[in-house]
């Protein structure tokens, strides 16, 4: 199936590596112009934007800081003129033991919520306002996790809770703004072979991560990109509000 995204500006958060990089690459191959968001990996992000072509650009923002997400959206719209699709992919998985001191546990909780949920929420808010004010169709694709539905190991409670919030946020946007042209979707991966998942696998072992798979290998970023590109095309608009599981059959609900 040929998908043409030419003329569409797409903001991909956390795009300098891992899932975000794979998404940005596939979307650019379909003709889209990508706003490549990064936090610290400036060289990787700028190099990726150059490789992607289509006038793609790199944009920095630290989502652990309260005002950064809104400023990012405003910079992207100012420099690109418009955004047609938002993909909230940036994420943080910060472990914290229940036996940690309360202030240390809350610090990890708050940072996780700020990056995974609060910053994504403000970008969604800005996107809805942008789409509605332009009276143009817009799509939001939020990268959540199977952890939102089945929970996670005790040290990663904050991660699972933040992703559950992202799912509910997405569904509410889909229900509330569909008639104004806004569609919203959830992608819920299981373990994906990325730098972020390495810490978990080092702690619990790769066999633990692979133990409940129905397929022969862990999901890789390239396995997620085709579905996201299909959703971005508009051919799945009547699935607005839906969650698409990509977890190698490790959690079915």
Measured distance between the N- and C-terminal CA atoms of the chain, rounded to whole angstroms: 28
In 3D, which of 138, 153, 241 has the Cα closest to residue 199?
A: 153
Among residues 159, 177, 204, 251, the one annotated as catalytic is 159
pLDDT at res. 171:
98
pLDDT at res. 48:
98
pLDDT at residue 196 tops 80: no
**Tens digits of residue pLDDT in 80-113:** 999 999 999 999 999 999 999 999 999 999 999 9
Angle between helices 157-177 and 119-134 (to 10 degrees): 10
- Determine whether 159 is an active site residue: yes
Overall residue count recorded for the chain in this entry? 253
pLDDT at res. 253:
82
Estimate the share of the chain in helix, then strand, then coil, as percent rounded to the nearest 5: 50, 15, 35
Q: Quick one: CATH architecture of 9-245? A: 3-Layer(aba) Sandwich (3.40)
DSSP assignment of 202-222: HHH-HHHHHTT-SSSS-B-HH
**Tens digits of residue pLDDT in 138-192:** 999 999 999 999 999 999 999 999 999 999 999 999 999 999 999 999 999 998 9
| Domain residue ranges in the chain | 9-245
pLDDT at residue 225 tops 90: yes
Beta bridge partners of 140: 86, 184
pLDDT at res. 194:
80
Reported pTM:
0.95
């Amino acid at each position: 199936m040929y998908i043409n995204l030419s003329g569409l500006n797409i903001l991909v958060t956390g795009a300098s590596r891992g899932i975000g990089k794979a998404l940005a690459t596939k979307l650019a191959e379909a003709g889209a112009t990508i706003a490549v968001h990064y936090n610290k990996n400036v060289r990787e992000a700028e190099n990726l934007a150059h490789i992607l072509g289509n006038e793609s650009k790199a944009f920095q923002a630290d989502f652990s800081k309260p005002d950064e997400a809104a400023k990012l959206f405003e910079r992207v719209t100012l420099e690109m003129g418009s955004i047609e699709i938002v993909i909230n992919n940036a994420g943080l998985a910060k472990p914290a033991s229940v036996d940690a001191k309360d202030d240390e546990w809350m610090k990890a909780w708050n940072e996780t919520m700020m990056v995974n949920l609060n910053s994504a929420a403000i970008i969604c808010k800005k996107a809805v306002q942008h789409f509605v004010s332009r009276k143009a169709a817009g799509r939001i694709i939020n990268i959540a996790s199977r952890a939102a539905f089945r929970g996670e190991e005790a040290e990663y409670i904050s991660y699972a809770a933040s992703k559950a919030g992202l799912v509910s946020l997405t569904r509410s946007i889909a229900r509330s703004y569909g008639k104004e042209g806004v569609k919203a979707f959830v992608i819920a991966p299981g373990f994906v072979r990325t730098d972020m998942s390495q810490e978990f696998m080092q702690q619990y072992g790769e066999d633990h991560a692979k133990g409940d798979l129905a397929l022969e290998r862990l999901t890789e970023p390239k396995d997620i990109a085709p579905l996201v590109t299909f959703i971005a095309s508009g051919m799945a608009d009547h699935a607005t509000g839906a969650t698409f599981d990509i977890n190698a059959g490790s959690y079915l609900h």
